[in-house]
Every structure is written in structure tokens, then in C-alpha cells.
Amino acid sequence: MATQPSHPADIAQLLGARVVRAVEHVLGEQITVQEAVIREAAPEHGADYQSNAAMALAKRFGQPPRQLAEQLVASLDVEDLCEAPAIAGPGFINMRLKDSWISERLGQLYADPRLGVAPTDSPARVVVDYSSPNVAKEMHVGHLRSTIIGDALVRLLRFRGDEVIAQNHLGDWGTPFGMLIEHAVDEGLVQATGDAAHGDGARGDGPRGDGAGAAGAAGAGAHAIDDLNSFYRQANSRFQADPAFAQRARDRVVALQDGDAGTLALWQTLVQESEAHFRDAYARLGVLLTDADIAGESTYQDQLADVASELQQRGLAVDSDGALCVFPDGFTGRDGEPVPLIVRKSDGAYGYDTTDLAALRHRTRDLGATEVLYVVGAPQRLHLEMVFAVAAEMGWLGDGKQAFHVAFGSVLGEDHKMLRTRSGDPVRLSELLAEAEDRAAAVLAQRGMEADAALARAIGIGAVKYADLASDREKDYVFSWERMLAFEGNTSVYLQYANARALSVLRRAADEAGVDTGIAGGAGAGAPAFDLREGAERDLALALLRLPAAIETTLADFRPHKLCTYLHGLAVSYSGFYEACPVLGAEDGLRQSRLGLCELASRALVLGLDQLGIEAPQRLSPPPARA
Ligand code: ARG
């Protein structure tokens, strides 16, 4: 049985191709499918799709648009797909799919485990730089956003068939490590080996080399440093207040940069301690990132000098007051002065800019990426644009290799200021996630549902993720527990609830028949003959057919909120159907059709939520559900 699963072509593509043919017939002009401008129509127009091609073409060919639309309609061969097309307004061509065509198409979806989402026929190799928190600091909500958005994109890209390489660009290198190491030594958190201040340590193998054997980091759960932020603050205030400490810290930085083995071991311990914190957060969030995805700033240290000389050889890097800088074209400050990327500071040190240049070179040159996504907050836009510009001049980008800043806005508190705790401290991620689970359990309890830990997690963590994904990533959004855990509105709970209701109908049908429904996989079992009698059934069916387009537009500019909007619409359609169309009480053929719609709705919701990294529990209300 080697039949390939068939993935029916996208509806807009199908209709677009027909419009292309009509245009050729009427105007003798070959246009592209994009130029056919097929859009989903607003339901009040009585159409499912529209072509907006006539207006632009009319301009181009100096014809009245409505007249051209009429000619196009006369030549438009869509009889197998649509009712007779209609013209509206200045020349929109409205098309309504035939119910019989929708039914047939649903049958195809039913048999396809991917629900019509065809894998790409030209897979890209995509590096996704995401999460990327800083060592010895707590992950903050910005890293939370990067983690959640990045993870959803990784899932979607993999589902599309791209080869994805996740890169967690940990901030694990730089001058603060001098004071952090000295503070850790004084606190007895790590054991000093050798005296860095006198530089008698043997040279190690460089960052992350085998020579930097760690002095036993704490395992998951129990952490040697409980609160990374206060640890960082303590180190910093000692650095400010105590000159002797500050001197030791500075010597430590030198020893670290010189690759002193003892110092590297201490550094490694601190890094591992932080990684244990991050690992906990990832596990709790259910994100895909693993230790294997970590490629922190330290990984590029031994490539920085080479990057600098490559930039110099190309004549891009120039001396500026003793520092080595690149001034990419078109980047000027408020005063009109060109702004530089600093390749090497006057004291010889390399920093964040050079590291990013080295990382990008590595990603396209060594990892072979054709696309590099940076899921990084909007404030780093200028930095990244400059890095991309320089990389393009160096040939690390261009020629089929591109980089994209997947920028995102801030998370605000209900006062519309940066999210803080009541006492004004930054919110600790671990506490935020614990609160999400507690609140989810409380909300479920209110509805008479005793939530075990797994269910509370699925609902609570899902709500945090969904709230982050559901608004356009470039906008700031207000963090509101009430809103994100509401059973109504564009929330994960609403989607999870719609799915649970669909599953409960299927369970009852199976109970009655004394059989296993075989849901969640559905392919294999024969598709019912779909019978779309009520408007609500047709709405739901059409929504189901639009899943592939929703995923495609989501990935077109990496905006997960588009998938959320789609899924919410699907759940609304399902609810409309659930209210209007009795399933179990319907006569035999109709009952099978409606059960099939329930099953497809559940499968589409589960698939969509899964792409967003959100679980879809089987039940969300106590067992005796409504009939
Ligand atoms: N560690 C950085 C921060 O916390 C984010 C790094 C983003 N990735 C990059 N390649 N610069 O701001």
C-alpha cells in the first residue's frame, strides 16, 4: 500500500490559476498567480473567495475595471469548483465554492494526516536563533517571548519540511564574568583552583574545551545559586564598592581571556549552573530546546580575530580612535554621523557586535543555512540590521542566503508599563510559570473540574504561550491573567475547550456503538460522505479547508498570531456548528457526516495547537457532559 498521501493544492492557487487563464484569453497577457490577487472574502459578501485582479489590470490596459471584470467572468472557467461568479463594487470577482466540491475536498482532508498541508518541495536549511538568555542572570520576559515565538516557528518550519537548526545564543562571555567568578569564589560556590591574579594557571583548551572540566554543577531542581539576579546584583555592588574586589575581578577577566585553565573551570561551573536554571524553564514550558542547541557567545571566541582580519582585508574595518570599526552604508545617528559596528575595542577586546558577525558567518558558511532567523526583541533592530548589512558586503549573506529579524515588542503590566512584580522587581520566570499553573488549577476548579498537575500545566502554560503568540509579535501586549485564562475570546483555553467538546461527542458516539473511534489519526478509516445542510456546517467545512493557507501566511512573515487568529475562527465555527447541528441525534448518514466534522475539527485544532507548542487535553469538564 504505497499510495502517497495526496495533499490537495491550495484553493487560492487553484482559483488563481483559473483567473490567469481567463486573463490570457481576454487580454492575451500572461500574468502570475499572485497577480490574480485571490483573497478570502468576508462572509457577508456571500462569497468565499474574490479576485481583485481586474482593477490593476484595467489600469494597465486602460479599460473600465467593471467592464474588464465582466469579460473576465465570461471567460472564467470555474464551473467544477464554484457557483457562477458575481461582480461587486468597482470590479471584484466574487466566487462561492460549490457545496459538492467542499464535501469532496473534506473527504480528501480526512484521509490526509497533514490535513492538506503539503510539505514544501524546496526545503530550506534554517537556523533559528532564539531564547538566548544571559548566564548568571535570570531569564526575563523578553527571553520568554523569544523562547515561545522561536519555538513555535521551529515547529512550524519543521512541519513544513524545512531543516531547522536551533541555536541558543547564550550570553556566556564578557567582562561581567570577572566579578561573577570572584563573587562565586568568595561565596564558596565554586572552588578556586590556582590564583588567576598571578596568572600561573596552565592555558586551557579555550572556552568549552575539555580542559575546562566543571567543578560539579548542581543538578536540575536544586540549584547552588537560587536567585541568579540577586547573585548578579551582589557581585555588581561589591564591584562598585570594593576596590580590591574590583581589581581581582579585572584580573580574572584577563585570565579568562587568556584561557587560564583554572579560571575557565570556574567560568564553566557558573555557566552550567545557569544552564540548569534555563533547562528547568524549558522543561516547564515544554519547548524543544536542548543542551545540544546551545551555541553561546563563547563558542565564537576563537573566530573573532579571524573575522576582524577578514573585515580588514576587505577594507571594511577601519581604525577609529584606536578601535577597529565598520561603518556600513546607510546607518547614521540622529546627528547624521555614521554609526559603527565595533569590531575590536581600543583595549583589544572583542564584544557583542563581532560575536554576532562571527556567528552569522558560521551559520551560513559552516552550517550551510540558507535562512537565518533572529527571534530577538525590537530594541536590537539597529544592531541586527547593521550586522546583516556587513554580512551582505562580506558575502556571508546574499546569493540565496538571507537573514531575518523576527522582532517582538515588550510585555506590559496592566498599568501599561514594563511588567514588574508588586514590589517593583522584574518578574522571575519560574514564579510566573508557577503562578500560571496555580491559576489554571483554580479556574478549572471553579468549573467543577479537579485538575491534576498535568492538566493545570497544559492549561496554565498553554495560556501564557498563547497570549504571547496571539498578538502581532511586533506590538507590545498587556499581560493579564484574567484575559489569558478566559474560556471565551481568543485564548488557548477556548481552543482547548472546543477540542475537548468535539472529542466528547466522538467518545459518546463510540460508547453507543461500542467501538473505538480511532480519532486522532483518522486517516485510514474511510471518510464519511460529507453532507453540508446547514450554514453552520458549511462554515466549519470551509474553515477546515483553510488550514493550509493559514500555515502558509503564518510562515510568510513569521507571525504566529495569524495561525492563532485562524484557530480561533475555526473554534468559533465549531461552536456555531455544535450549537446548530445535533450530531448524535441526527439520522444515520447525516450523523456520520457530522461526526466526521467533529473529528476533523478536533484534528485541526490539535494540529494547530501542536504547532504553537500547546497541549490539547482530552477533557476539560467533569465526565458527565451534556447530551
Ligand atoms: N543574549 C541577548 C540578550 O539577552 C540576546 C541574543 C540574541 N541573539 C543574537 N544573536 N544577538 O539580549
pLDDT of residue 521: 38
Kindly indicate the confidence band of residue 624, based on its pLDDT and cuts at 50, 70 and 90: low
> Looking at the domain assignment, is residue 63 inside a domain?
yes
- 8-state DSSP, 43: G
For the chain, the C-alpha Rg in angstroms (whole number) is 29
pLDDT of residue 8: 65
Residue 56: which domain range? 11-97
Judged by average pLDDT, the poorest of 196-200, 228-232, 321-325, 487-491 is: 196-200
End residue of a domain, out of 221, 247, 271: 271
- Write out residues with Cβ below 6 Å of ligand 1: 129, 132, 134, 169, 171, 356, 359, 374, 376
* Domain count of the fold of the chain: 2
> Looking at the domain assignment, is residue 153 inside a domain?
no
Could you give the CA distance from residue 516 to residue 339 in angstroms, rounded to a whole number?
Answer: 66
State the distance from the centre of ligand 1 to the C-alpha of 563, rounded, in angstroms. 26
Residues 52-66: what's their mean pLDDT?
Answer: 95
pLDDT of residue 219: 40
Residues 407-434: what's their mean pLDDT?
Answer: 87
State the distance from the centre of ligand 1 to the C-alpha of 131, rounded, in angstroms. 8
- 8-state DSSP, 301: G
> Looking at the domain assignment, is residue 38 inside a domain?
yes
pLDDT tens string 487-542: 999 999 999 999 999 999 999 999 887 765 544 434 346 889 999 999 999 999 99
pLDDT of residue 193: 61
Judged by average pLDDT, the poorest of 19-23, 266-270, 539-543, 604-608 is: 266-270
> Looking at the domain assignment, is residue 15 inside a domain?
yes
State the distance from the centre of ligand 1 to the C-alpha of 239, rounded, in angstroms. 24
Judged by average pLDDT, the poorest of 208-212, 324-328, 351-355, 443-447 is: 208-212
User: What's 49's domain CATH number?
Assistant: 3.30.1360.70
Mutate to test the pocket of ligand 1, among 374, 376, 381, 386 (most ligand atoms within 8 A of CB): 376
> Looking at the domain assignment, is residue 462 inside a domain?
no
Average pLDDT value for the chain: 90
Spell out the SS3 assignment of 363-390: HHHHCCCCEEEEEEEHHHHHHHHHHHHH
pLDDT of residue 577: 98
Q: Answer yes or no: is pLDDT of 4 > 50.
A: no
pTM of the model as a whole: 0.92
pLDDT of residue 520: 40
Instruction: List the residue whose alpha carbon is closest to atom 11 of ligand 1.
Output: 356
Cell of 223: 540549584
> Looking at the domain assignment, is residue 368 inside a domain?
no
pLDDT tens string 572-588: 999 999 999 999 999 99
> Looking at the domain assignment, is residue 435 inside a domain?
no
End residue of a domain, out of 271, 304, 322: 271
Residues 124-140: what's their mean pLDDT?
Answer: 93
pLDDT of residue 2: 40
> Looking at the domain assignment, is residue 224 inside a domain?
yes
What crossing angle do the helices spanning 492-513 and 453-470 adopt, rounded to 10°? 130
End residue of a domain, out of 248, 271, 294: 271
State the distance from the centre of ligand 1 to the C-alpha of 608, rounded, in angstroms. 28
Torsion 451-457-461-466 (CA) sign: negative
